Chains A and B, each alone.
Chain A
Amino acid sequence: MSQRRPRIGVVTFPGSLDDRDALRAVAFMGGKGVALWHGERDLRGVDAVILPGGFSYGDYLRCGAIARFAPVMDEVRAFAGAGGPVVGICNGFQILCEAGLLPGALIRNRQLRFVCRWVHVRVETSLSPLSAGLVAGDVLRVPVKHGEGQFVASAGDLDLIERDGLVVFRYCAQDGGVGEADVPNGATNAIAGLRNELGNVVGLMPHPEHAVDPDVGATGGQSMFASLLFTALARASAA
């Protein structure tokens, strides 16, 4: 059986900013990027979905609060419910939390300022579409750029998140050590990325799509995208 290129959908909401960048990263890593439109109830048969970064609908209410009502989100929910790999990057992470596909919420950075910075994250589990090819303890260099990236959750949710190993990425130092100084936004438990119980939905504040091309920075996003393409392909082959 000849393997086809995995088809990765990237949703454009009004106000999405990193949608083209996510499509470019998919192509760079050997996948086939498929542009999806917020107003269409159609995922065009993709093998995985990315909700990209940006300021959907201006984020004038809470980040992601309006995007979760977009027509395409009904399809994304159904796709996720059927085990399809879904990735939310930055604003996409915020949308997934608002849509109830991931626990917790993202609030204003603790320093009350937007932050654009290269950081390190430590992989906590292989059980997610972005970490399937990684092992716990791996350290990746990726950038963050957000004003509302401080992850918070209720005490109950937080217990559940830690008990069930839902944290996928934590902010860390270059050597993998976790300390407050390396958390760019004050996130609880240094949480940078999170999965659902099933392990097919993952959201993260850092931008792996801006860390695949060695000509414009570090390449910590390559192994995340490789994991996503692998996961998508495995699902497509199984189907």
Chain B
Amino acid sequence: MSEPELHLRLGLSDEELELIRSTLRRDPNPTELAMYAAMWSEHCSYKSSKVHLRTLPTEGPRVLVGPGQDAGAIDVGDGLAAVFKMESHSHPSAVEPYQGAATGVGGIIRDVISMGARPVALLDPLRFGPLDEERNRWLFGGVVAGIGGYGNCIGVPTVGGEVKFAEPHSANPTVNVMCVGLAPADRLLSSATEVHEGSVLVLFGAATGRDGIGGVSVLASRPLEDETQESRPSVQIGDPFAGKLLIEAALELVERGLLEGLQDLGGAGLTCAASESAARAGMGAEVGLDSVSLREPALEAFEILTSESQERMLAIVDPSRLDEVRATCARWGLGSAVVGRLVSGGDLRVTMGGTTVAEVPARSLAEDAPAYTRPVAAPREPDDPLADDPTFAAVTAEPLDALVALMSSPNIASKRWIWEQYDSLVQGQTVAGPGADAALVRIEGTLRALALTSDGTGRFGILDPYLGAAHAVAEAARNVACTGATPLAITNCLNFGNPERPEVMWQFVESIRGLADACRAFETPVTGGNVSFYNEAGESAIWPTTMVGVVGLLEDYRLAVGHEFGTGSWVYALGETFPELGGSAFAEVVLGVVAGRPPALDMDRERRLHRLLVELAGADLIQSAHDCAEGGLAVALTECAIAGGTGFAVGLVGDQPPHIGLFSESASRVVVSVAPERAVALEDTAAAFGVPIARLGETGGPRIVLDGLLEITVDEIAAVYEGAIPALLGGGARPGRC
């Protein structure tokens, strides 16, 4: 049997090869083919998604930099910009969880730095298969240790994230990471920055090795197969120490105004950085591979060009500033080398050993990848969509048993085991860290704080991708609003199976529609993000997972609202509870089904709730606020009690069956507590904003009491909540280095 042709082995289709031929008006040589394979990979080119991504709302009064750059940026006042982006590192993490997750952190940080911003926060939304399987525990322990192993060593606090478990994520864990940075708005290094002909390209940071070759084309743009282990050489190895030096050196270069541009070397390595730099400037570039510092001798041209060795960046520098740039790198112990320069025309010409090894239009690599409108096939509608809806199932479970089961289910149980492995305090600005509805990171020298959260679809996404994505935005924005902050913009990571399968593509298109509708309704434009396809093994894809990262702004962090109950407060529910158990945690944990229709989402109602929460916090009216979502009202109330170490006595309102009132997951609801003397003002304000409000009871005492339904001490339920994940892990999760 003959081996398939080179372009097929590199992941390019016959049609794509034809396109390259017609661009070059000749056959590409193998080096050029490798460059196209990397740049036209799904991971780098978004060829299956970009047609749909264009439908997302990307503009707003605060948007400074929208999609298409290394990271998006918004105006957060006082002349400052928040720079942020979310990305996936799922594929490498499925092969080597520690390094896969670690290099994901390193990569997203460089995206933020390359905009000229200092990273101030990390968040890590993750999905795994159930922890009762050994391989899932290995993946989970490795990913958490890898995030900590890199993040803890570079001085950027990990302030939030979320972790969920579902069987479809067993073969492919979903590992996303979001980084947020701050920069003076007038110093952002976006494409608008002046670059000119003759500017030199300086590669600085670590040396280039063979690691990560084909990372984007082999690993990230194909389904995982049985030979996954053989993909290990495609996984990069992280060096957080070098990453930390790179942060400091790069930011010093930016602060001293020595750079015209800065590019991360991530997916597709030098090929990507050089071709994007040139294409954005509307120029060409000459790159000489002989001056690239190598980790080992005798690398071939295509290896140097597509290596994904970590901790490297490419600076565009006016020749007059070159000495200062190199001296700064040296002071931080980093190597630097002039590897090329910008030239007129549009060609990227690469030389090695005195000969030209590649010569192609830079733009054709960076911008001219094909865009596919892949076929879409909706699943067949069931004859009676309500037949299997758990909302109408007969329920025999005792309310207390159900609450205990929910509080100890891994999706709801405390994630302390995870976030205690992350440094959430470094930089000294963490007003609220992991465990809060949204993390609050103070903007130094001001009274403002960034409110950050990430949220993603789980059960809702597989049952209805449109609603799933819309709920993800709504819940993330609600979490931010609970602290008193105004949600301003979002980044996202769209994690799906193989886009060449019409049923997966349908999930993707529906999710984009949900994302777009919700972002429009909440006026939170999308400033960038990432698409991760091919998250499947065999015929089994992950659940469609739209991860949303929201950046909000709190005007005065001294008025921040937490979710802890104090004693002697009155408890209210904002919003209304409807019989909606479709896709709920109650249905999965207690009834054992993931079925039905997710709760409805009234965007207008949701928006009013957000505005009310910001008003209540600004007027210092409430003592606590907590999003009511997974597990319903009962779980939300219990979480507030555990956080505050204080019980409550409440009764349900309305005449719904108890399990609906306790566990329904109707959207647009928040539990708040208020000092009794301010209760009237709270009720009046809610009415003014058109948000339904109902008094449930009061806080205090050592027990949680849901009148006539269940009763348990806070200490007992807290032990259940805190103990669940450590108990599942036993000694089974692999520890990593510090």
Contacts and interface: CB of A to CB of B under 8 A. Distances in A.
B244 interface: yes
Contacts of B557: 215
B155 A18 contact: yes
Nearest to A37: B331
B425 A143 contact: yes
A38 to B, nearest CB: 10
Interface in B611-655: none
Interface string B211-253: 0000000000000000000000000000111101100000000
Interface string A98-136: 000000000011011111110000000000000000000
Interface residues of A, number: 37
Given A14-B333, A147-B738, A215-B558, A21 B428 contact: yes
A141 interface: no
Interface stretch (A50-58, A188-196, A224-232): A50-58
A148 interface: yes
Contact of B241 (A58, A63, A213): A58
Interface string B103-124: 0000000000000000000000
B337 interface: no
B424 A15 contact: no
A54 B242 CA distance: 13
Contact of A216 (B152, B244, B428, B738): B428
A146 B426 CA distance: 12
B431 A216 contact: yes
Given A60-B241, A114-B148, A115-B421, A17 B442 contact: no
B432 to A, nearest CB: 9
Nearest to A57: B241
A143 to B, nearest CB: 6
A69 B558 CA distance: 44
A113 B558 contact: no
B241 A15 contact: yes
B713 interface: no
A152 to B, nearest CB: 16
B148 to A, nearest CB: 5
B558 to A, nearest CB: 7
A13 B154 CA distance: 13
Interface string A1-33: 000000000000011011011001100000000
Which among A109, A112, A148 has the greatest number of chain B C-beta atoms within 10 A? Answer: A112
Contacts of A170: none
A47 interface: no
A68 interface: no
A17 B431 contact: no
Contacts of A15: 153, 241, 244-245
A77 interface: no
B241 A18 contact: no
Given A57-B241, A58-B240, A146-B738, A17 B154 contact: yes
Contacts of A25: 428
B15 interface: no
Given A15-B241, A18-B155, A57-B241, A114 B738 contact: yes
Interface in A142-171: 143, 145-148
Interface residues on B, range: 20 to 34
Contacts of B737: 147
B426 A17 contact: yes
A25 B332 CA distance: 25
Which among A21, A63, A116 has the greatest number of chain B C-beta atoms within 10 A? Answer: A116
B351 interface: no
A17 B421 contact: no
Contacts of B13: none
A113 B145 contact: yes
B120 to A, nearest CB: 12
Interface string B147-162: 0110011110000000
Contacts of B422: 114, 116
A58 B239 contact: yes
B155 A210 contact: no
Contacts of A210: 425-426, 428
Contacts of A116: 419-425
A112 B425 contact: no
Given A112-B735, A147-B738, A215-B442, A24 B244 contact: no
Interface of B: 145, 148-149, 152-155, 239-242, 244-245, 332-333, 419-431, 442, 557-558, 735, 737-738
Interface of A: 14-15, 17-18, 20-21, 24-25, 53-55, 57-60, 63, 108-109, 111-117, 143, 145-148, 207, 209-210, 213, 215-217
Given A17-B155, A55-B241, A115-B421, 17 more contacts: A15-B153, A17-B153, A17-B423, A24-B428, A58-B241, A58-B242, A59-B153, A114-B145, A114-B421, A114-B422, A116-B423, A116-B424, A116-B425, A143-B425, A145-B423, A216-B425, A216-B431
